Structure 1
């Protein structure tokens, strides 16, 4: 579709006839675009007395539309939609570089992608302990919880080779395996490699993980990390795992493969998000989303204080001790009472009876402390009693116990003095908001 400016019109006519667009572009020998000639231009030129042996420049049309090399897809589509069947793409120096037609490949070439995921942590209001398998295989368990806007973040970047690099910003670690087989052959030294061993990706990758919360918070942080990593790999799949599958793969990696003792509620809460009643049984576990009035959610958010006791603990070790206590002593009756209290709290929440809900938090804490002597200690007990004296209506230590975050319910007239008292006790208050979404994942181009 190019004719040089030193050729005659007959050469242009031959090329016009061969082109389905009935158009040729006139350039010099360096491809500098001079103009174009259409079938109609030729007819008009010959009718006005022109000859076929004259130079093409005598017939060419210098008035034409073109686009630059960086023209957007939108710009080109608009010209095509206006009826331009072939549009020259011109370099800044005037050279003809390409021709845009209706069949032109406007889609961007496929680029390498990375995936990201984030999973929220949870606040458990009641029923904790009944989500342990050794309890609910014989007695139905139930947990009432919600998620808050503190997240575990995972970024997954596929590699062209088989190497696996795992980076943890929280632990300041970098683990490398030459291949998946090397990872599978090594002992499970960390949670992240345990997740990879469960998923078994067939490609090499770089995995980056970070969190918005401290290690040992009692907010189900390690489960949020596992859930986020599973979701990042899930985003790479054509056949996506369901939310239940994501949660249960995270459970498998953390509890079964890595061997951290604990319950089932954390992974379900992080995967599904929002307010949920999680029912656990020997056959099926079910997550029931709770629909609350906006005023109830807003008021509850205002009435709760979340604070870090700054006391470190190991939830896995605590759960192992609690299991020993459960085996040696009959704790099933206490756990059954906790489940009944959980369902009572569920009813209060549905009806917006927040004062009753707040009082139930205290009942839940008293029951939880009775499960094991390791759940509380004099320092934690002092923080709790001081908070109650400062105006808290109820509260509880989150997670397995022995440290981490406290949650307190307080009426507005006592909030300031409670906050001051907690700060005086070296607790760090945490700003939080409820999160309605569970784990989310997405993919983006590698820049």
Structure 2
């Protein structure tokens, strides 16, 4: 029992005069009547005493003669909301009792302190991107000398990160997607490991000054072509960002993701995935030597809804390594001397598709997907093969206006533009070839983070 409760109590066998003296010497205009075991039996306010004495009551009789047994009390652990409502009914003190009804505390409005800080964990989720055109122009070796742009959106498939700070220096990393677990005695130990995975590499870029447990999972398969590794990096960085006082901007989150994934871990590729996952929604992203810019696209609801109905996401169930494909494509394109010509044409197509999209000219948009796929196949022989070509031709023969393989190529997901009346025919054809169609919704938000109490 705290000191305030002790100074504001009298026993059942004490007198009215004892109660008066307790009120006069105490800080509250109330006393609490308890038995020998400190069980609360009643309360006596200054007003109760005045009324009793004005009616001629004696002062040498037990307090039980005028104590109020219809008092309000709360149990230990009562919510702030419950106590605030009692105070708002003009009560100026609330007795707090334990499970046996024994008095353990007294709360007043001034002593109803804010909840103490408790340990928290951070969560984040980052959506994957669906690139429509311009892919390849986001490679630094191209856009430092040429205008570059990519048209993309994000969809409701996410990488999920959970970051739990520890009280020691240990760093543990769990990947549900890969079924792996990494453990390091400290950040220095992690930094010294040359063979660490992507998640540990991200942590080494952040360099937190505390130990942690990091959990990672994704809604999509590895090697999907949806920019999954960038979504992973973006989600992890956003989880760390949630615990910072000076939060990084969305551009800074994307840049850190690029640094960790491309430069430190060594996955070859461009810049679009990190920006798309960080910003979310439909964007035209321009890449320049000086500064990259994300231009959000506001689409009418009818255009967005119609496009969503006309797109079919098809999992070829063929995994691929985008990093190796990017390296191979760059070598082949450089050796042929076609690098600038092909990418310039890709950027020009990106601009046309942007215009078709914002004007709602979706049939033209769908046909441009086909033009983009034909162009992309010229980047490298590794982009497609006989199996992928067969899937694409079957989709077109069944009614698709166009499509493209998402990501660098070689496997992953096809995206087809299909008018609703042909959707069933297209899905049946690609499923017959062993593919799997995946339902999706556009995601207008980028990476999202929040914190919650550790239970």
Calculate the TM-score normalised by the size of structure 2.
0.95
Matching of residue 71 in structure 1 with residue 78 in structure 2 = yes
Matches of 1:67 and 1:312 in 2, distance apart?
60
Q: Which residue of 2 aligns with 1:189?
A: 196
Q: 1:383 aligns with which of 382, 387, 391?
A: 391
Q: 2:370 aligns with which of 343, 362, 368?
A: 362
* CA 49–136 in structure 1, closer or farther in 2 if over 3 Å, else same: same
Secondary structure at 1:153's aligned position in 2?
strand
Q: 2:152 aligns with which of 145, 161, 166?
A: 145
1:55 Cα deviation after fit: 2.5
* CA 413–51 in structure 1, closer or farther in 2 if over 3 Å, else same: closer
Moved more, 168-177 or 25-34: 25-34
1:86 Cα deviation after fit: 0.8
Please say if residues 73 and 106 of structure 1, whose CA atoms lie closer than 8 Å, have aligned partners that are also in contact.
no
Q: Which residue of 1 aligns with 2:245?
A: 238
Please say if residues 188 and 194 of structure 1, whose CA atoms lie closer than 8 Å, have aligned partners that are also in contact.
no
Matches of 1:419 and 1:39 in 2, distance apart?
81
1:208 Cα deviation after fit: 0.6
Secondary structure at 1:282's aligned position in 2?
coil
Residue-by-residue CA offset, 1:90-120 (whole Å, 9 max, x unaligned): 3343222221211233533322111111111
Q: Which residue of 1 aligns with 2:345?
A: 337
Matches of 2:441 and 2:43 in 1, distance apart?
64
Secondary structure at 2:290's aligned position in 1?
coil
1:52 Cα deviation after fit: 3.2
1:426 Cα deviation after fit: 0.9
* CA 418–62 in structure 1, closer or farther in 2 if over 3 Å, else same: closer
Matches of 1:136 and 1:340 in 2, distance apart?
14
Q: Which residue of 1 aligns with 2:125?
A: 118
Q: 1:168 aligns with which of 165, 170, 175?
A: 175
Q: Which residue of 1 aligns with 2:276?
A: 269
Matches of 2:108 and 2:271 in 1, distance apart?
58
Matches of 1:310 and 1:44 in 2, distance apart?
85
Q: Which residue of 1 aligns with 2:309?
A: 302
Q: 1:46 aligns with which of 30, 39, 53?
A: 53
1:435 Cα deviation after fit: 0.7
In the alignment of these two chains, the number of paired residues is 447
Q: 1:317 aligns with which of 320, 324, 338?
A: 324
Matching of residue 444 in structure 1 with residue 437 in structure 2 = no
Instruction: After TM superposition, list the pairs within 5 Å mapping 1:94-105 onto structure 2.
Output: 94-105=101-112
Residue-by-residue CA offset, 1:362-420 (whole Å, 9 max, x unaligned): 11111111111211112211211222122111111110011111111112222111111
1:320 Cα deviation after fit: 0.9
Residue-by-residue CA offset, 1:132-184 (whole Å, 9 max, x unaligned): 00000000110000111111111111111110110011110000000000011
Q: 2:358 aligns with which of 350, 353, 370?
A: 350
Please say if residues 188 and 257 of structure 1, whose CA atoms lie closer than 8 Å, have aligned partners that are also in contact.
no
Matches of 2:77 and 2:247 in 1, distance apart?
37
Q: 1:434 aligns with which of 438, 442, 445?
A: 442
Secondary structure at 1:237's aligned position in 2?
coil
Residue-by-residue CA offset, 1:185-231 (whole Å, 9 max, x unaligned): 11143110110011011111111101111110000001001111111
Q: 1:372 aligns with which of 377, 380, 399?
A: 380
Unaligned runs of 5+ in 1: none
Calculate the TM-score normalised by the size of structure 1.
0.97
Secondary structure at 1:103's aligned position in 2?
helix
